[in-house]
Every structure is written in structure tokens, then in C-alpha cells.
Amino acid sequence: MGENEYDVIIIGAGPAGLTAGIYLGRAKLRTVILEAMTPGGQALFSERIENYPGFPEGITGRELAERMVKQAEAVGTEIKTLCPVERVRLEDGAKVVEATGGPYRSKALIIATGAQASKLEVPGEGRYMGQGVSVCAMCDGAFFREKVVAVVGGGDSAVEDAFYLSRMASKVYLIHRRDKLRAQKILQERLFEQKNVVPIWKTVVKEIKGDETGVKALLLERVDTGEIKELPVDGIFVAIGRRPATEPFREVVELDEGGYVVTDESCATSTPGIFAAGDVRRKSVRQVSTAVGDGAIAAYSAELYLERSKG
């Protein structure tokens, strides 16, 4: 093989991509992971992960990512960081990835670029990410037992997050810019049966305030009157949608109406030899553990594809 030729190319070094790299490295397949930024994916924004098996005392998202990187490299998988992918194309049966230092060629490809949560884009959001600002209620909700939190959004995800948090937080504010929710009626009914849930209508978050210990308050604005007020909270969960990072793959795989890669249970896409793992697929549960499971399945499927291709 040439310098930039591999058995498998993995795009994305989050938990799904790193897990696939570990499995493929152990299978003695020449594998490279191309990562646009820093390995770890969305896990990097988790101050503490307490629901990942094997770590009863919890572990930071950064430390977990570092351990995964070390394990992948130990079995021979290359990891190239600051290597954004611009385009993927097919050429004589090969998968050609146009990226920094490329192009790279492989027989099989795993897409593991994830999905980024949409941001409020307000002052304080980046500063307190992981310190009271979260995009995953299931991941971080346990840190807010008997505390006051806010959820921003009006769709199914926001309502489901608010309901989940209502079982542990002392009070949950649901902040929405309109006067009614987009979520399914049955979800709304279930949510508003909870006595500790308080909706705040026709309102947007203008700023997230805090100190060295984390989030302390939200600066809110009424969209109809312009009235400004401060709301004391211990945390804020942003649930205004996600954007899958799939633009470079539109020419080679089928995407659904939301831009997610369409796969079967083996993580295979519409194109033979191309697989997808993690949040880049449409999923009902987005956790490190489910991403890891996808990575293992995609790696096994890629290995099986390569074996069959030999014949």
C-alpha cells in the first residue's frame, strides 16, 4: 500500500470512531482516523461521565477520550488530527477522501462525524459549557438533583429532557420563544402533569451568567414586549436541535430528511463498503455507550466486507 492508502478510513475521532479504530487495529487492518479537531467528540463537553460501564467513580469526558486514543494507537491505528474532510468520492471501487494531507484511499470507510447540538450563541454559553450548560439531560441530569434548571426548546427533545429532569431537579423551567410547543401532544400532557415544571412562553435567553463555580442565572427577554429579567438557575439544558456533520458525504451515501446517514442494523449505508457509526446516524438514544456499540458493529461489518471482497 502507498503512504495514504489504507484498508479502512474512519472519519471522526469521537467514541464511535475511536472504538472502530480499536477493533480494526486489533484485526491487523491498516486503519487511519481523520479528525477535524481534537479526539473525543461531544464527550469532551462532559465534565463528568458516571453512566459508562467500568467507571463507578465516574470519569471526565476528556480523560475517557484520552484513554480511547491511547488504546487505538496501541493496536496500530493512526490518528490524524486537524484534518478536516472536504469531500468523499468513489473511484474504481476505492473510497477517496479529500482532506488535509490527502487524498486518502481505502477499500472501506466508516463515517463517524457525529451530530452537533445547535447552540444559543449567547454570551456565557461557551464559558460555562460543562459547568452548568449542557446539551444532554440524560448525561448530566444527575448532577442537578434538588436544583433549579432550565430547558430551552419547544420540540420533542426539549419536552422529553424537561420531563426527565423533573424527576430529579427541584424545579424545571421550560423556556420557549413561542406561545405553544411543537412537541407531540402526548409528550406535552405528560410533562405538564409534573408540578415542578414551569413554562416560560414568548421568551429567549440573552445571556448565561455565572462565576468560577458555574451557572448562576439567565438573562431573559420577552419577544413580544422586550422586557428583560434575570432568572436564577443552577443549570441550563439547550435542546433546540442537532445538525449531523454529513455535508462531505452527500454524493456517496443516502441521507434522510434531517441529513442523517441512513443505515441498517449492521451500520451499512446505501453504498457497499461505507458504514456509519454514532450520532451521525438517526438514533433514539445518544450516549457514549451507544456510540461505542455502533463503533464495534461498524468495524466488524467493515472487516466482514473486506473478507468477502477478497473472494
Q: In this structure, what is the dihedral angle of CA atoms 131, 137, 140, 146, given to the nearest 10 degrees? A: 90
Predicted TM-score of the model (pTM): 0.74
Fold of 5-116+242-310: FAD/NAD(P)-binding domain (3.50.50)
**Mean pLDDT for the stretch of residues 98-118:** 92
Judged against a pLDDT cut of 90, whether residue 270 lies above it is answered with yes
Question: Does the annotation count 267 as an active-site position?
Answer: no
Share of the chain above pLDDT 70, in %: 98
What pLDDT digit, counting tens, does each position of 227-249 carry? Answer: 999 999 999 999 998 889 899 99
Give the number of other Cβ atoms within 10 Å of residue 95's Cβ: 22
Contact 146, 232 (CB under 8 A): no
Q: What is the pLDDT of residues 135-173, one digit of tens each?
A: 888 778 989 999 999 999 998 889 989 999 999 999 999
Q: Do the beta carbons of residue 103 and residue 188 sit within 8 Å?
A: no
The three grid cell numbers given for residue 121, joined into one nine-digit string: 450563541
Say yes or no to pLDDT of 262 above 70: yes
Domain ranges for the chain, please list them. 5-116+242-310, 133-238
The residue from 7, 83, 140, 267 that is catalytic is 140
Amino acid identity, residue 209?
Answer: K
DSSP 137: H
Residues 25-64: tens digit of each pLDDT: 999 999 999 999 888 887 776 667 888 899 888 888 889 9
Alpha-carbon dihedral angle through residues 179, 196, 284, 116, given to the nearest 10 degrees: 70
Is 5-116+242-310's fold the same as 133-238's?
yes
Q: Which of 136, 161, 279, 294 is catalytic?
A: 136
State the Cα–Cα distance between residues 16 and 21, nearest whole angstrom: 9
> Could you say which of 139, 161, 267, 294 is catalytic?
139
What pLDDT is stored for residue 117 in this prediction? 81
For 45, the grid coordinates are: 463537553
- What's the average model confidence in pLDDT over 293-304? 97
Q: 123: which residues sit within 8 A by CB, 6+ positions away?
A: 207, 208
Asked if 169 and 149 touch (Cβ cutoff 8 Å), the reply is yes
Q: What percent of the chain has pLDDT over 90?
A: 76
Residue 123 pLDDT class (50, 70, 90 cuts): very high
Examine residue 103 and say whether the peptide bond preceding it is cis (omega within 30 degrees of 0). Answer: yes
For 133-238, CATH number out of 3.40.50.2000, 3.50.50.60, 3.90.600.10, 3.40.630.30 equals 3.50.50.60
Cα 104 to chain centroid distance, Å, stands at 25
Q: Report the relative pairing of strands 242-244 and 274-276 from DSSP bridges.
A: unpaired
What does pLDDT average to over the chain?
Answer: 93
DSSP 14: S
Residue 115 pairs in a beta bridge with 244
pLDDT band for 284, please (50, 70, 90 cuts).
Answer: confident
Average pLDDT in the 245-263 region?
A: 93
83 is catalytic: no
Q: What is the mean pLDDT of residues 97-117?
A: 93
